[in-house]
């Protein structure tokens, strides 16, 4: 988070826009929107100093539903847009958001490099282990034997992608896991993520009631992340291995200088012409 001016009078609902979400009733994404607006209210950020950037997917519709600046880009490129925005405008609080398909499939390369680059951006992935928007295909986090999509009639057959482990190996400095069914905890997590100086990755289980109705069972499966939270990547890797993948809470946090170009102008373009003059 950038130390911008804050503005105390706003409530959570002031951070929600008046646009009606296209989401299905019961979609986990509603709770993420709520948690996010509460987090912004808690931080008392000036709405015009916050920018929400996303790609394409049900989850990626989030920006328009918040009352902050938004950019709804193309599929898989949220982190690139967010990175350029933050590089050029370090004064803004930049939040990127999207789905598991957007972030881990088509957007995988930017995820890797955003973790490494450690810019001061918060990235919220609403993981429903499916491509909701395109009506239910397997995503990288889908389990190998999920065979409900006609596209992968025997299931994707590939071990599912472990977002926290990849983020860790790529150099993210803040990793947390949340659940849309526990919005208060999620709010707190988003607050901490935004406050963290550097790249904060918040992986949220956010059920797709339409194409993964069985995810209603997640309520019973998630639990407090029980492993030690350290700034030591090897210990954390060990913890992640011990956890069943459903533990929620802060997983990893370390302090590293965020990458941020910010130079003071020392001359005008005309001064650069000298180099060329014969």
Partner 1 sequence: MNKTNVNHPDTLSAAITGSGGSGVVTAGQMLLKAVAAAGLFGLMTRSSGPQIRGGESAAMLRLGVKPVNNLDDKFDILLAFDWLNVTRFVDEIPLQPGSLIIRDPDAGEVPPELASDDIQVLDAPLKSLAKTIDGGRPNMIGLGILAKLLGLPEAALRQVAAEHLEKKGEKAVEATQACISLGHTQEWSELPISPLEPPHTPPVRWNISGNEASCMGAVRGGVRFVAAYPITPASEILEWLAPNLEKLGGSLLQAEDELASVNMIIGSSFGGVPSLTATSGPGLSLMMEGLGLAVTSETPLVVSNVMRGGPSTGIPTKSEQSDLNIALYGFHGDAPHLVLAATNIGDCAFTTQWAVYLSEVLQTVAIVLSDQSQGQARSIIEPPAEPKEAYQRLLAKSPEEENHYQRYALTEDCLSPMSIPGTEGCIYTADGLEHNERGTPSSMTEDHLLQLDKRRNKIDGFDYGEAWADLQGEGENCIITWGSSSGAAFEAAQRLSQAGVPTRALALRLLAPLQKQKQQNTLQGVSNAIVVEQNHGAQLYHYLNANQLLPPGTRSMAQPGPLPIRPGDVMAMMTQEADND
Ligand X SMILES: Cc1ncc(C[n+]2csc(CCOP(=O)(O)OP(=O)(O)O)c2C)c(N)n1
Rule CB under 6 A: which of 112-131 touch ligand X? 126, 128, 130-131
Among 16, 29, 196, 253, binds ligand SF4 (CB under 6 A): 29
Residue 232 CB, shortest distance to partner 1, in Å, is 27
| Rounded Cα gap, residues 12 and 41, in angstroms | 5
Residues 6+ apart with CB under 8 A from 275: none
Give the pair of three-digit tokens for residue 73: 């880009």
**Whole-number CA gyration radius for the chain:** 19
Total chain residues near partner 1 (CB under 8 A): 79
Q: Check binding of 215 to ligand X (CB under 6 A).
A: no
Binding residues for ligand SF4 restricted to 106-145, rule: CB under 6 A:
128, 132
Q: Check binding of 75 to ligand SF4 (CB under 6 A).
A: no
Q: Check binding of 72 to partner 1 (CB under 8 A).
A: yes
Among 4, 170, 210, 254, binds ligand SF4 (CB under 6 A): 210
Q: Check binding of 70 to ligand X (CB under 6 A).
A: no
Closer of 34 and 139 to partner 1 (Cβ): 139
Query: Among 95, 125, 116, which Cα is nearest to 195's?
Result: 95
Query: Among 102, 100, 92, 38, which Cα is nearest to 70's?
Result: 92
Q: Check binding of 58 to ligand SF4 (CB under 6 A).
A: yes
Burial 124-146 (b: 16+ CB within 10 A, else e): bbbbbbbbbbeebbbbbbbeeeb
Q: CA 240 → CA 126, 203, 237, 249, distances in Å?
A: 19, 13, 5, 12
Among 4, 134, 209, 254, binds ligand X (CB under 6 A): 134
Enumerate binding residues for ligand SF4 (CB under 6 A): 23-24, 27, 29, 58, 128, 132, 208-211
């Amino acid at each position: 988070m950038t130390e911008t001016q804050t503005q105390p009078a706003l409530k959570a609902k002031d951070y929600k826009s008046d646009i009606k979400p296209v989401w299905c009733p019961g979609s986990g994404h509603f709770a993420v929107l709520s948690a996010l607006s509460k987090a912004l209210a808690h931080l008392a950020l000036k709405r015009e100093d916050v920018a929400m950037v996303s790609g394409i997917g049900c989850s990626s519709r989030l920006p328009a539903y918040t009352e902050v600046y938004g950019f709804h880009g193309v599929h898989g490129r949220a982190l690139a847009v967010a990175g350029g925005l933050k590089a050029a405008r370090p004064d803004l609080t930049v939040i990127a958001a999207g789905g598991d398909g957007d972030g881990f499939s088509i957007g995988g390369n930017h995820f890797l490099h955003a973790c490494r680059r450690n810019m001061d951006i918060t990235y919220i992935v609403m993981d429903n282990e499916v491509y909701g928007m395109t009506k239910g295909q397997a995503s990288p986090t889908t389990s190998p034997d999920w065979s409900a999509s006609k596209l992968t009639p025997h299931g994707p057959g590939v071990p599912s992608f472990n977002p926290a482990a990849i983020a860790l190996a790529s150099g993210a400095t803040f990793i947390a896991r949340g659940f849309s069914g526990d919005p208060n905890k999620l709010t707190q997590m988003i607050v901490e993520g935004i406050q963290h100086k550097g790249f904060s990755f918040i992986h949220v289980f956010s059920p797709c009631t339409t194409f993964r109705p069985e995810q209603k069972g997640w309520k019973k499966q998630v639990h407090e992340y029980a492993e030690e939270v350290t700034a030591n990547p090897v210990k954390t890797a060990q913890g992640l291995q011990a956890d069943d993948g459903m533990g929620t809470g802060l997983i990893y946090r370390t302090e590293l200088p965020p990458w941020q170009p910010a130079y003071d102008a020392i001359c005008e373009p005309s001064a650069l012409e000298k180099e060329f003059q014969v």
